[in-house]
Each structure stands twice: as C-alpha cells, then as structure tokens.
Structure 1
Amino acid sequence: MRAPLLRVLVRGPSMAPTLSDGDVVLARPGRAATPGDVVLVRWDARPDQLSVKRVHRVRADLAHVLGDFPDGSTDSRTLGPARVHAVVLCRLWPRPGRLPARQDRP
C-alpha cells in the first residue's frame, strides 16, 4: 500500500522562481529521489523542520539539496546532507501544474 499524498504549504523564498511563498505542493513519501527532483527534506540538526529543496546528488539514504534561490536558501551547503521525506509531484496552488526543471545548475 502506498503512503498517502501530502499537501504542503511552501514558506520562504528559497525555491524562487520555481516555487513562491504561499504556493501549495503535492508530494509522495517513499518515492526515490533523483538529481533535479524537488523534494521535502529533514536535517538531523533540525528534525522538526520540513524544507522544500532540489536534489543536487544522492548518496545512500542522504541527499545533497540546494534551494533554487541560493542567496535566500539554507540548504546542504550549510546543514550538510538531508534525509528525503517525499518527492514533490506538482504545484496545486495558485498555478497548478508540473514544476520546471532547474537548468542553470551543474
């Protein structure tokens, strides 16, 4: 049986322009993340915080994740590898649809 889908409210500027503060996304827990995916993550240093980031690389059960807006993001550059909680499938609100791929990052 699959885990239920999660509806998550995005807070902050770290994923701009892909996602904005106030956007609502739909995510699936338990799905394997690959580089380029937008995901929900947790860090050991901040276990109560769920963050939305983009996967840069995956190693074992941890991922190096970055925000699409580097100057406004606290991510793996500061906190180290993160544990992927769920993969974001789409944006529900205010502009429903697929999320664009990040093109200008190696």
Structure 2
Amino acid sequence: MASKGAEWVAGYIAAWESNDPEQIGALFTDDAVYRTAPDAEPRRGREAIVAGWLEDLDDPGTWSFDWTILDEHDDFVVVQGRTEYPAEKDYLNLWIIRLADDGRATEYTEWYMPRPHGD
C-alpha cells in the first residue's frame, strides 16, 4: 500500500497533467496554504490555490517530473524532484507538504533551483 505522501504526490501529478480544477482542489483543505517559493506570498484557501494554479499552468506534455520521498512522518512529507521541460529548462525541486488526516494538504511549500538544460 502506498504511503499517504506518495498518494498525494501521485494526485498532484495527475492534477498537473490535467489542469482540472476539481482534481487540483481535491488535493487541498479549504484553508490550505500554498507557497510557490518559501518567500512568495502564499495562496490561501482552496479557491485561491486553484485560481493561481490555472493562471500559471503548464500545458500537458510539455514537462516530465521524477520524484522520491526523502522523509515522511505522520502529517509531514518531504519530496525531492526534478522537473524537465524538454523545450526550454530543467529544475531541481524540494517540496514540504503537511497533510490532514484525510490525506489532503494543509500546507505546501516548494523550493526550486534551475539546472542547465539536459544535465
């Protein structure tokens, strides 16, 4: 059986692939906080998270994402990933996620670092 964190990341990737507002919203609690960087102004609440996602979406088929869970304890998950945009850029990612008992995120923060394309 997959961990709660692995299930959440799989759901995130499915929402990223579809950009479906219902799939995106299903990942987060009503009062969730979503940070696109540690010092970014957070998106607060499911509606703001969905709206922000749709304003800044990646088109399906324009990226790939490989990931692993570095640490998971109760409601706390740390994910390391690499996002590749074959046409333009690559990033190393670190996600910190806090999950509610029902598996939805109450808090999400992303760190990312650009990498030379194709390295």
With the length of structure 1 as denominator, give the TM-score of the two structures: 0.28
Higher relative contact order (CA 8 A, sep 6+): 1
Bigger share in helix? 2
* Length-normalised TM-score, structure 2: 0.26
